Amino acid sequence: MRPGAPQRIGCKVMRKLTPDKLEAGMVLAKPILRGSAVFLGEGSVLSEGVISRLQSMEINYVYVEGLAEQPIPLDEALASLDARFGNSGDSEPMARIKRIVHEYIVDLYE
Amino acid sequence: MSEPININTMRRKVESINALPTVPSTLKHISSMLENPQLSIEELGRFISNDPALTSKILKMVNSAAYGFPNRISSISHAIMLLGLNVVRGLLLGVSVFELMQKNIAGLWEHSMGCAVVSRWIAQKHEFKEPEEVSICGLLHDIGKVILILHFPAEYEQAQEKARSEGIALHEAEKVFFDATHADVGSWLAQKWRFPINLVEALEYHHRPQLSQQATLETAIVHVSDVLVRARGIGIDCEARVPDADPDAWKLLRLSDDDVKDILAELEETAFLETEID
C-alpha cells in the first residue's frame, strides 16, 4: 500500500492522530514501524512513557482504535445535514451522497 | 442598482495584483517569482528557506494528513524533491494567500484543506502518478475568492451577503456584481503564474466540470471534492447549501459507498489542520 493511502481496513474503526494528540490508555490500531522493524505492535496500550517516546520520534501520525468524541448530539448533526442538502437531496447523485453521509454520521455515534 | 463590474476591468485589476496596496509584500514577491518562466528549483528553495515563518508553514502542510507522507519531511529542498516544483509553488501560494483569508471569508481555509485531502484521495484511487498535483488543484480551487475580496471588498461583501440571505451559491451571487466569477479569476491567475493547464482548467470549471477539455478527470475530482467536503459540513459560512454534483463527473469517478466513507474518515483529520497552520 502506498504511503498515505486510505486506511479503513474491514470494519475496524480507527483514528489517525498526530503524536501530540495521544493520550494514555489509547490502543494502537496499526503497528508503529522503525525502518522495517516493529517498534510497537498493533493492540499495544499506550502509556505516558511510551507517548513521550513517540513524541520525540520523527513520526507524523499513528493509528489508534475507536472513534473521536463528537462535538454535537446525533439529532443535531442529522438536522444540520438535512438543512445543508435542502431539496437537492432528492435527485441522483445527491440522494446517494446524502444517504452515505447520513450513514457515516450515524456510525460515528455508535 | 449599478452595472456589474466589467470582465476586462476585472481581469486587468486581478492581473495587476503586484500593484495592489492591500496585498502583503510577501505575496507580491511570490507572485512575481511565479511569473518567471526560468524559476529554478534552487531559487524557489532559497526564497522559501530564507523566510522561517513560510518554511515552517509549508513543512507543516507537507507533513500533515493532507499529504500523508509517513516520515517527516524536514527541509524545503527535501519537499521539492519529493513533491516537485509545481506542487511546492502551489503550496507556497496556498499558505500565503489563505492566511489572508482567515478573517475575511470564515471557513474558507478549512474548506480548501478539506478539498486538498479529498482530491488527493480520489487521485490516488485513479492512480495518478502525482496525486499531490491534484491535491493542489483542490487546495487552490477557490483562490479567486481571495483575490476578488482584496480587489473589490465592497462588492464582494455584498455578493457574500446576497448568497447568505437568499441561500444561493456564492458564484451565482457573484454574477450580480461582476461579469466573471471567482472560478474565472482563479484561472486567470493560474495562467499568469504559469501553472499547468490541468490546474488552470480545474480552477476555471470546478462548478461546470463538463466544460473541461484537457483535464476532465482532475476537474471532476475537484468538483466532486467540493461537494463532498460541503456535504460533511466543511464549507464557508455564507454558503449554507451543498451544491449539486454533476452526474457525469460523479459517474466518471466511480466512487463506491465505502470509498465515500473512507474519504469522510480521512476528512476528520482536517479538523486538526486549522490549528496547525498558524
Per-residue pLDDT reduced to its tens digit, B144-193: 999 999 899 999 999 999 999 998 999 999 999 999 999 999 999 999 99
Cell numbers 466518471 correspond to what residue?
Answer: B252
Q: State the complex-level ipTM.
A: 0.90
Residues of A in contact with B244 (CB under 8 A): 88, 91, 94
Q: How far is the C-alpha of A103 from the C-alpha of A82, rounded, in Å?
A: 13
Q: How many interface pairs between A and B have CB atoms less than 8 angstroms apart?
A: 93
CB contact under 8 A, A100 and B266: no
Q: Dig out the grid coordinates for A90 from the structure.
A: 432528492
Let me know: does B242 contact B231? Beta carbons within 8 Å. Answer: yes
The reported pLDDT for the residue numbered B273 is 44
The least confident of B19-23, B48-52, B93-97, B212-216 is B19-23
pLDDT tens profile B179-229 = 999 999 999 999 999 999 999 999 999 999 999 999 999 999 999 999 999
Nearest residue, CB atoms, A83 vs list B70, B240, B247: B240
pLDDT at A7: 42
- Beta-carbon separation of A97 and B227 below 8 A: yes
Total domains present in chain B:
1
Domain that holds residue B197: 7-277
pLDDT of residue B99: 75
Q: Is residue B220 part of a domain?
A: yes
Contact A104 B260 (CB under 8 A): yes
**Domains of chain A, earliest start first:** 14-65 (3.90.105), 74-108 (no CATH)
Cβ of A83 within 8 Å of Cβ of B247? The answer is no
Q: Which residues of B touch A96 (CB under 8 A)?
A: 257
Residue B197 placed within a domain: yes
Residue B204: inside a domain: yes
The pLDDT-based confidence of B269 (bands split at 50, 70, 90) is low
CB B135 within 8 A of CB B66: yes
Q: Is residue B212 part of a domain?
A: yes
Classify residue B193: in a domain, yes or no.
yes
Domain membership of residue B1 (yes or no) is no
**Which residues make Cβ contacts (< 8 Å) with residue B233, sequence separation at least 6?**
A80, A81, A84
Between the alpha carbon of residue B103 and those of residues A39, B99, B106, B109, the distances in Å are: 43, 8, 6, 10
Cα(B252)–Cα(B267) distance, rounded to whole angstroms? 22
Report the CATH number at residue B110.
1.10.3210.10
Chain B residues at the A interface, defined by Cβ less than 8 Å, are: 63-65, 67-72, 74, 120-121, 124, 167, 227-228, 230-233, 235, 240-245, 247, 250-251, 257-258, 260-266, 268-269, 272
